[in-house]
Structure 1
C-alpha cells in the first residue's frame, strides 16, 4: 500500500496539541495491571524492550517478550520472556515491526488487541507480510516524525502514527566531552537467526584506523549482536553507547537506532554509508555529515557539528516522558480507543 499524503503524524502530549484528546487522567476504568505481550523483528533481541521496564514497574504493568524459545536468552536477562506456548494471559499484543516473527506471534494470538510500536529503526519499504497485521491495528507509534514516516511505510498503513519519543531519552546523560575522544558505533557484521545485518563494517573499520593514525582516542560502542573480535584492538565501551557518547567529541558509525539518541545527548554524528546500505532519511538528518570513503573520516570528525534544530526534531522527536506517552497509547489500544482517529 503506498504511503501518500493521507498518512498523518500526531505528537502526543505536547503543549497545545490536539492529540491530548487521546489521553485522560481518569484511569479508573483501565485494568489496574495491564498485561502486555511484545514481539520484535529480532526474535531473541530483548534490548529494545529493556528500556520500558522502569515505566512498567512504576505502573505495575507486566511486560513479556514473546520469543521462539529460551535458547538465546541469558539467565540474567531482566526482560521477562515466554514462548507462544507458555505466554501468560494478556490484555494487549505489541509488535515492534512486521517481520516474520511478529507476524507469526500475531497469528498465534488472534483475539488480542494489536498495537505496533517502532522500538528500533526500520526502513520505509513495506514488509512482505505487513498486510496480515493491518486489519487488526488499534494504534501505531514511533519515536519521531521521521521514524513515523518510515514505520508507516514498513507497515504499509495510512493510520495515524502517534509520535511519542524514545523512552531511552527520558534520562539523558550530561555531556562532558573529552578532547580527541571519538566514539565508534558498530552495527552487525553478519545476519543470524536473531536479526539482520547492515553492510558497512569494512568501511567503518578503515575509517577508524584513519582516525587512530591521526591521533584520535578511539572507544567502541558495540551493537549488542556485533562480533567483538573485529574490534579487539580498540577500547570497548563498558557503558551503553548513549552514555559513552556524552564524553566523546564526536561519534562515527553505521547509522542505526542509537543515532537519534546520541544526537539528543548533544554529540555530533558522522555516518558511514556503504553504497549497499539503505538508511531511512531521518537517521541521516541527525548526522553532521556522511562519508563513503575512509579517507574522509578525519576531516568529517574534526568538523562535526549538530544539525539545525528542525532537523533534530525530525529525527529525535519529543524528549522526556516518552515511556509514559507510549504506555498511555497502549492503555487506549487495549480498549480499542485509538484506531478510529485514523
Structure 2
C-alpha cells in the first residue's frame, strides 16, 4: 500500500507512521506520549517506523495530551525592596560561580530525560512577569534559587500549586521541598581549622544577614570560636561578591589590625579578601590565614589558592531535580528536605 503523503510542510505525518508500522493512529499516539500500557513489541515496531520515516512529534500537540511541556525553570530570585547588595542583580547573577554549578548539576539529571532547563532571572522589576509566566503553564516545575527571608516567591509557588524545589532552607516556613548543606557545621570546620593552625585573633566577613546561609555561617563560626577560645569574633558584612569582600577586609583591618585568622562566608568574597590583605602588606597565610566557603572556581583562581569549606553544589542541584521529578510523578507527595554534609578542602591560604 502506498503511504499517505506528508503534510503541507513536507514533514512525515502520524498517519504515515501508523501505516508503516501496521497499527492505528491512536496506537502511534500512545507510543509517542509514552503511555505505559502499550505492548513492548508494538512499541518497538512503532519506534522503528518513526526512525525510518523521520517523523518528529508535534510537541505542542503532545503537550495538550500529556499536560507537560518537558521544560523546567531555574529561577534566580531576589525579593522586591531588597537593598543589601551594592552590586546590580544581573551582574551578580552572571559572575557568581554558584549559579553555573547549580545549572550543571540540574542538567546532569534533566537532559538525559529530554527536559529543557530555562534560566529565568527574577529581580524585583521582573517578579510579576515571572509569576505570570509560571501561571501560564510554560514549564512543568521550578528549581528556585531564593535565599532571602523576605522573598515572597516560594510562598507564591506554594499558593499557586506549582511544583517547586528550593536551593536552600527558606527564611520562613513554607510547604516546599528544599536541598541545603549544613551551613553551621561548615563554619565550625573553618573555625576548628584556623584554631588548629594556631590562630587566635580571629575575625569573619559574613554574608547578608537576611539570608539563612549568611546567618548560619556567622552563627556557626562564632559559636565554635566562643567554645574553643572564649572570645567574641568581630565581623563585617559583605554581599557575597568579590568587590564586597575586598572592601569589607579593608574596613575590618582598619578596626582590627592584629587579626591573624579570617573566615570569609564565600569564596568570591575570600578571593577579594586575599587581594585586600596583600595590598596592605599582609602575607597569606603567614600573617593572616584565610578560609572561604563553597569550593568554587574562585577558590582555585585565588593566589594563593583558598582553603575552603566545600558544599557539593552539583550533587545538591541534582537532588533538587530528582525531588522535582518525584513531585511531578506524585503531586500529593509531601514536601521534604535533604541536607548534605560539608567537608574542608585544605589548600595554601590556611
Per the normalisation by structure 2, the TM-score is 0.36
Please identify the structure whose Cα radius of gyration is greater. 2
Per the normalisation by structure 1, the TM-score is 0.36
Q: Which has the higher contact order (CA 8 A, sep 6+)?
A: 1
